[in-house]
């Protein structure tokens, strides 16, 4: 069975892995003022953007993910021909509408693929699994990497799906930012946005999930080594100095 993987541009997989494993990326448009760029997980393009003068206004950036129709068109024009089962893994649904849009698109995809595959001489069924990773960036990449590992090992879609549930439920990315002032301004911008309502309730937290019955306080302490805790304290002191209440 041909198994495919779709991620969005927030998934922090290396360029080489995306190319070598034929990972399909859902682009995310980024608008800053009058400038618009398309994030497709190309490191060179991202580096040029971050080094440009435009990036200084990044706190005002607006992200525009694929619409339901665009996701549906991508699958029906390409993926239903190339694969028999596709895992579509998205950035946390609490931070982006991509998951909800992919789920909505999946109804049309699964309803309309039959004639398209039949016209290409393929009468076998097509299946699609949309999964909310509950993570961002590097944390989002772990389920993707495990999907590719299992596919390479020849595992069945059902076995991959079962393990991915455990992987997603046991993974959470941690963020230690060197600039809390930027994060605060970015959070205010997002909370004031009507385009992405989930962002209005964003809170800056760090933590991790474990398989055992540990408390959230134990998880928090267990995931932070001395250097991380020291760095976090330093960042908080800097934030308080820059942003007095």
Q: What domains are there in the chain, each with its CATH number?
A: 3-169 (3.40.50.10170), 180-242 (no CATH)
Convert the pLDDT of each residue in 46-78 to its tens digit.
777 777 777 676 667 788 999 999 999 999 999
DSSP 66: P
Q: Which two tokens stand for residue 217?
A: 């306080």
| Average pLDDT in the chain | 80
Per-residue pLDDT, 152: 97
Question: Phi and psi of 53, rounded to 5°?
Answer: -65, -25
d(CA 212, CA 1): 35
Per-residue pLDDT, 43: 79
Question: Phi and psi of 2, rounded to 5°?
Answer: -85, 115
Proportion of the chain above pLDDT 90, given as a percent = 54
Instruction: Report residue 131's pLDDT band, with 50, 70 and 90 as the boundaries.
Output: very high
Cβ(63)–Cβ(32) below 8 Å? no
Residue 22 falls in which region: left (phi positive, over 0), alpha (psi -120 to 50) or beta: left
Which residues neighbour 49 within 8 Å (Cβ) at sequence distance 6 or greater? 30, 37, 55
Convert the pLDDT of each residue in 140-198 to its tens digit.
999 999 999 999 999 999 999 999 999 999 998 887 777 777 677 766 665 554 334 33
Question: Phi and psi of 17, rounded to 5°?
Answer: -70, -40
Sheet holding 127-132, edge to edge: 24-26, 3-8, 85-90, 127-132
| Average pLDDT value for residue range 72-95 | 96
Per-residue pLDDT, 221: 38
């Amino acid at each position: 069975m041909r198994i495919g993987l779709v991620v969005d541009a927030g998934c922090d997989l290396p360029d080489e892995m995306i190319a070598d494993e034929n990972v399909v990326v859902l682009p995310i448009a980024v608008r800053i003022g009058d400038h618009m760029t398309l994030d497709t997980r190309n490191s060179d393009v991202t580096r040029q953007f971050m080094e440009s003068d435009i990036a200084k206004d990044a706190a005002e950036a607006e992200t525009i993910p694929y619409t339901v129709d665009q996701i549906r068109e991508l699958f029906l024009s390409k993926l239903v021909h190339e694969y028999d089962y596709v895992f579509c893994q998205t950035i946390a649904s609490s931070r982006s509408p991509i998951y909800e849009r992919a789920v909505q698109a999946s109804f049309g995809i699964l309803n309309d693929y039959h004639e398209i595959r039949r016209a290409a001489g393929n009468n076998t069924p097509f299946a699609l699994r949309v999964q909310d990773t509950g993570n961002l960036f590097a944390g989002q990449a772990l389920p993707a990497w495990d999907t590719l590992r299992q596919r390479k090992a020849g595992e069945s879609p059902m076995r991959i799906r079962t393990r991915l549930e455990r992987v997603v439920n046991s993974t959470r990315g941690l963020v230690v930012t060197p600039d809390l002032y930027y994060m605060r301004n970015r959070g205010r911008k997002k909370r004031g946005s009507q385009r992405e309502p989930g962002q209005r309730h964003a809170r800056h937290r760090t933590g991790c999930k474990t398989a055992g019955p540990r408390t959230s306080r134990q998880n928090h302490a267990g995931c932070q080594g001395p250097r991380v805790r020291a760095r976090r304290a330093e960042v908080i002191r800097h934030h308080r100095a820059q942003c007095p209440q």
